[in-house]
Amino acid sequence: MTTICSIPGERFSRARFMPRFRATDSVRVCLTRCLAALTVIVINMGTGSVARADNEMTNTTAVASNKAVFLIVDGIPADVIERVATPNLDVIAKVGGYTRAEVGGPLNDPAETPTVSAPGYMSLVTGTWANKHNVYGNADLAPNYDYWNLFRLVKAVDPSLETGLFSTWTDNRTVLLGEGLASAGSITIDYVADEFETDAQRFPHAPNDRHIQVIDRYVTAEAARAIEQFGPDLSWVYLQYTDDVGHALGDSSELDAAVEVMDALVGTVWTAVQARAAAHNEDWLILVTTDHGRDRETGRDHGGQSERERTTWITTNSRRLNARFHQRPSIVDIYPSIVSHLGIRIPLPTAGALDGRSFID
């Protein structure tokens, strides 16, 4: 991949992390309407087969001023997020809400999904469980791209909508979203900051993966900068270090401290969102969640279906939360909720393939 240095001392993984032409709202509306004839691959829920449907996008409506950023902060059980002081998450929750949530899918069901990181991310970005998206672990990844991820959906509805991905794990973009792959829709993410975990020169490995926290800080700063300057319509921020501490030390004061740092990083993104929204009269959704809990005995492990591993949480600023939000929503409910905030109507067959339902009206 081409790497450029646009600012001395700062590395961006993509040349496109630069100011570029932004479509005006009227252009966006036009593009959306012109997509009426778009032919899309949609998924037949009943058979799981892929069918071709025309004109499914006829009634989609992109609301240009509605934008969303979701953050996945890795491996923080609900009891930990509720015990440790998280003033920034508290501020966001005061605007919208906080709820306990769930991962792992329906128990003893074909849709049961390991409480493992990549399956969790895939469940969020596709709104489906692993029996559909086909990601059961963190290695040997072979996603089923027939289940469109959020970024592909947004680009299909309106190619002028912009996306961002700020991540401590490059596979999120290159494998899970399948950026650039024809089988995944040949999407391009407009603003990217990732690949730093492989840059041992700039981020040398440290004991207990402390360098990952340094990367998390950098990724967060880049996300905040992109949000405030460019306002991507849909962004994903992924912060990893809390899970590294959990694996190394389990439930510990070090894990609590890592959660406090994570909260400060969330505050950085929230500050950028507020500044952006105020300066451009935009309606921003921020949503923070985790991908799995941890085992009850030590806090070092996860992957099973124990209550603590399955119990997660969601914090959001949305003022349009419906009853579903308070009924222990699951990670697959986030996809339709973000889509609802963005004002995008999902083509019916694709909507039918989703395993969740929106907690945002």
Q: How far apart are the first and last CA of the chain?
A: 40
Nearest position to Zn ion, beta carbon: 117
Closer to Zn ion by Cβ: residue 32 or 242: 242
Which ranges of 235-333 would DSSP assign to H, the alpha helix? 241-249, 253-280, 307-310
Closer to Zn ion by Cβ: residue 222 or 243: 243
- As to burial, measured by CB atoms within 10 angstroms (0-12 exposed, 13-18 middle, 19+ buried), residue 297 is exposed
Least distance in Å: CB of 289 to Zn ion? Answer: 11
Closer to Zn ion by Cβ: residue 291 or 355: 291
Rounded Cα gap, residues 93 and 88, in angstroms: 9
Whether the CB-CB separation of 105 and 84 falls below 8 Å is answered with: no
The two tokens of residue 241 are 């270090």
Least distance in Å: CB of 167 to Zn ion? Answer: 13
Closer to Zn ion by Cβ: residue 74 or 309: 74
Least distance in Å: CB of 72 to Zn ion? Answer: 8
Least distance in Å: CB of 117 to Zn ion? Answer: 3
Rounded Cα gap, residues 55 and 349, in angstroms: 12
Least distance in Å: CB of 257 to Zn ion? Answer: 18
**Partners of 311 in the beta sheet?**
102
Which DSSP helix (H) or strand (E) runs through 126? helix 117-126
Rounded Cα gap, residues 214 and 219, in angstroms: 9
Closer to Zn ion by Cβ: residue 149 or 240: 240
**Partners of 279 in the beta sheet?**
none
97-102 sheet: strands from edge to edge: 97-102, 311-316, 283-289, 66-73, 234-239, 163-167, 191-193
Whether the CB-CB separation of 242 and 250 falls below 8 Å is answered with: no
Closer to Zn ion by Cβ: residue 75 or 336: 75
Closer to Zn ion by Cβ: residue 233 or 291: 291
Closer to Zn ion by Cβ: residue 159 or 304: 304
For Zn ion, the binding residues (CB under 5 A) are 74-75, 117, 243, 291
Whether the CB-CB separation of 227 and 270 falls below 8 Å is answered with: no
Whether the CB-CB separation of 334 and 304 falls below 8 Å is answered with: no
